[in-house]
């Protein structure tokens, strides 16, 4: 059997079944971050992301933006769990002929974002590789009472996103803003039930959230906030938006809608387990097929 048969997420499920997990682990494989024991009042959050040349970026892209993205995708994972990013390890795979200036500029972009969010880069590794590869492992922390996972959505919850979607195929994937501050506002002031960052695309990531929560979802096409110049198809499927998708009860949804938060309601959680429907302005509905990015 080749790797394309189970697919990326089927392979993850198979590997998760083989991975040893200690009893002290709060949450292992299957969410935006692993959740580990911390202090009396906090959990540790741990995530890693790998960027590979010709898959996630090209050599034509500005290296500072590539470095920024490499750290930013992990910062977004920490945000999705309601946490604060703290310490990063950076492993680089580099072709032997690459210019030192290119690698330094990768780090300059990474450093700028790290300073913005108070992240310390504390170590890593370098190896020869056939293509530029950047692997970031990021440690963060979250107050126990503010931890949010994908698995808490409830029927009747309203689904929100933190910003406009689509356009990553035109270069937005290098210029996104991790939503740490927005996530902190949400977990401090509202009862967020479930949250995930939109890395694979809204059509795919809402599916990840509902499967973790054992619920369904209705997404309203006319409410999906597309980036200017982007149509609905791209807003649903481009991925690498790194906005947050989250659910709250109707009372908190009304509070959010009254405030000038910049958050957009896009749908509602239903009791139809594992079913996602797309509803148009006439009320007609169809199955929302996950057409976001997958590696295999």
Q: 57-81 pLDDT, tens per residue? A: 999 999 999 999 999 999 999 999 9
pLDDT at position 4:
63
CATH class of the structural domain 31-145 = alpha beta
Residue 171 binned pLDDT confidence (cut-offs 50, 70, 90): confident
| pLDDT greater than 80 at residue 295 | no
Whole-model pTM?
0.94
| pLDDT greater than 90 at residue 275 | yes
The span from the CA of 276 to the CA of 270, in Å, is: 9
Could you state, in order of their start, the residue ranges of all structural domains in the chain?
31-145, 148-287
The span from the CA of 63 to the CA of 35, in Å, is: 31
Regarding predicted confidence, which is higher, 279 or 6? Answer: 279
Residue 11 binned pLDDT confidence (cut-offs 50, 70, 90): confident
**Mean pLDDT across 15-34:** 88
Tokens of 105: 């500029």
- Using CA atoms, how far residue 231 sits from 167, 188, 226, 227, 235, in Å, is 9, 34, 7, 8, 6
CATH of domain 148-287: 3.90.650.10
pLDDT at position 246:
98
Q: Which long-range contacts (CB under 8 A, 24 or more apart) does 50-59 make?
A: 50/133, 50/134, 50/135, 50/136, 51/133, 51/134, 51/135, 52/131, 52/132, 52/133, 53/131, 53/132, 53/133, 54/131, 55/295, 56/173, 57/132, 57/174, 59/132
Q: 43-55 pLDDT, tens per residue? A: 999 999 999 999 9
């Amino acid at each position: 059997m080749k790797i394309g048969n189970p697919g990326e997420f089927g392979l993850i499920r198979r590997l998760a079944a083989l991975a040893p997990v200690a009893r002290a682990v709060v949450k292992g494989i299957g969410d935006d971050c692993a959740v580990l024991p911390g202090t009396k009042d906090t959990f540790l959050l741990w995530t890693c992301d790998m960027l590979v040349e010709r898959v996630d970026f090209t050599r034509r892209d500005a290296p500072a933006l590539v470095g920024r993205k490499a750290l930013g995708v992990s910062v977004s994972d920490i945000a999705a769990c309601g946490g604060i990013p703290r310490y990063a390890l950076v492993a680089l795979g580099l072709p032997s002929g690459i210019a030192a200036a290119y690698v330094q500029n990768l780090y300059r972009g990474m450093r700028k974002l790290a300073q913005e969010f108070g992240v310390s880069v504390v170590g890593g590794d370098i190896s020869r590789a056939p293509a530029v590869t950047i692997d970031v492992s990021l440690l963060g922390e979250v107050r126990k009472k503010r931890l949010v996972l994908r698995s808490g959505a409830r029927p009747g919850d309203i689904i929100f996103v933190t910003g406009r979607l689509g356009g990553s195929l035109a270069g937005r994937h290098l210029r996104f803003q991790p939503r740490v501050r927005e996530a902190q506002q949400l977990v401090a002031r509202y009862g967020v039930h479930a949250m995930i960052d939109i890395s694979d695309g809204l059509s795919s990531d809402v599916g990840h959230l509902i499967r973790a929560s054992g619920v369904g979802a209705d997404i309203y096409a006319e409410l999906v906030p597309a980036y200017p110049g982007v149509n609905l198809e791209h807003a649903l499927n481009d991925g690498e938006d790194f906005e947050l998708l989250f659910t709250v009860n109707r009372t908190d949804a009304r509070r959010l809608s009254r405030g000038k938060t910049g958050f957009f309601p896009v749908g509602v959680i239903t009791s139809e387990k594992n079913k996602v429907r797309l509803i148009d302005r006439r009320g007609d509905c169809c199955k929302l097929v996950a057409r976001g990015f997958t590696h295999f």
